[in-house]
Amino acid sequence: MNNHQETKKYDNTKDSHWHVCGLVVQAEITKMEQVKYALLAIEHTDIPLEEAGKGKLVVIMQSDDQQVLLDNMEKARDFDGVLDLSLIYHEQDEVTV
């Protein structure tokens, strides 16, 4: 598995809650780069691990709005090359400003 060091900054001052979701994305091996590019175009999304030979990605999505997260997961599920997307983890933290 490869580690990706890219992290994205976020503004957590908008709401009193911050949501973090851990996903496993199964992609067509021949479309892995395309899928990764599309996922990383989603705000507050990171790919900390991948197993390219098996078409598996561990994806972290974050937002201060739970509906935005749900919409982003549905959008990702519809990307060309995505075979399956599974929510593995969800955490809601209260933000102190």
The 10s digit of each residue's pLDDT in 37-90 is: 999 999 999 999 999 999 999 999 999 989 999 999 999 999 999 999 999 998
Which overall architecture, per CATH, does domain 17-92 show? 2-Layer Sandwich (3.30)
Long-range (24+ apart) CB contacts under 8 A made by 79-82 are 79/34, 79/35, 79/38, 79/39, 80/31, 80/34, 80/35, 80/38, 81/27, 81/28, 81/30, 81/31, 81/32, 81/34, 81/35, 82/25, 82/26, 82/27, 82/35
pLDDT tops 90 at residue 96: no
16 in Cβ contact with 95 (< 8 Å) = yes
